[in-house]
Amino acid sequence: MSITAPETRQDNSWRKALAVLLLLLAAWSMFQPLASAHPEDEFCTPGGGLDPQLCRELARLNSADPVGTAAQEQVQLTQYTETQTIDFERSGTSTFFTYVSIGVRHILPGGYDHILFILAIFLASPRVKPLLIQVSCFTVAHTLTLGLVAAGVFAPQASIVEPLIAATIAFAAFENILFGRMTRLRPILVFGFGLIHGMGFAGFFGELGLPQGQFWSALIGFNIGVEIGQIAVVGLAFAASLYFRGVLKQASRMDLYRPMVVIPVSLAIGVIGVFWTIQRLNA
């Protein structure tokens, strides 16, 4: 009969508690915007202040609304905008928080390509410092191109950007398989890939339609929302990693983490990335 040392029990309890906390924080980040008041209910009304195109995007993103209700609101909005001009009078603070919600929803739950890329980054190294370096590089890069494209400095074509985003997913995932540790060039590559992903964010942001005179409130809010979504993904991945590591540690088989978790998950992400690349090139 084996006896578990008190230190081991305490260590396992700490890991479980941290995993539960991260899951709760990630879940809150994911669902909090969905649980709040619907932005289109407040703003997508005569004189409410949002561009009709943005209202249509919000209605699409709000999966909690019944189909009939969303359709009815769309008909009413269309009928109104055919005869009236919307008055863009709303505070910058309201615009900011509205676009924070939109940014979160762009990542969770439907931003599959960005989610898979973040997971590929996460799997590159089990240590916290390399993960923070990569995430920081990705954040700075996509923030840069998001701002430049949204401000109209340059306008990349979606037909080029979207296949490139898929290719970055495949590259990052297969690199995890080929190299046992994060390479020195990895942060530079992630920065370059972040520039490409920022163009994708900017394409979505540009399609929303913006309140006049509130460009920066909307842009900053959207970018912060994207970051919240990314943090939620990293939190969920870290919690899952803690759980699997705890199981393997109890079995004294920590050597199995890479062959049982990193390689299979990276392979799946890489295959999906290749499929999306081919699909988007042929679109």
86: which DSSP letter? Answer: -
Cβ(195)–Cβ(165) below 8 Å = no
Domain-wise residue ranges, the chain? 10-281
What pLDDT digit, counting tens, does each position of 123-142 carry?
Answer: 988 788 888 899 999 999 99
Q: How far apart are CA 70 and CA 40, in angstroms?
A: 10
The token pair at 160 is 């080029």
Cβ(116)–Cβ(272) below 8 Å = yes
Question: DSSP E strands: which ranges in 131-214?
Answer: none
Flag the least confident range among 37-41, 113-117, 177-181, 208-212: 37-41
Helix axes 158-178, 263-281, angle to 10 degrees: 160
Range picked from 66-75, 140-149, 249-258 for highest mean pLDDT: 140-149
What pLDDT digit, counting tens, does each position of 82-127 carry?
Answer: 333 333 456 778 889 989 999 999 998 878 999 999 999 999 887 8
Identify which has the larger pLDDT, 264 or 68. Answer: 264
The amino acid sitting at 132 is L
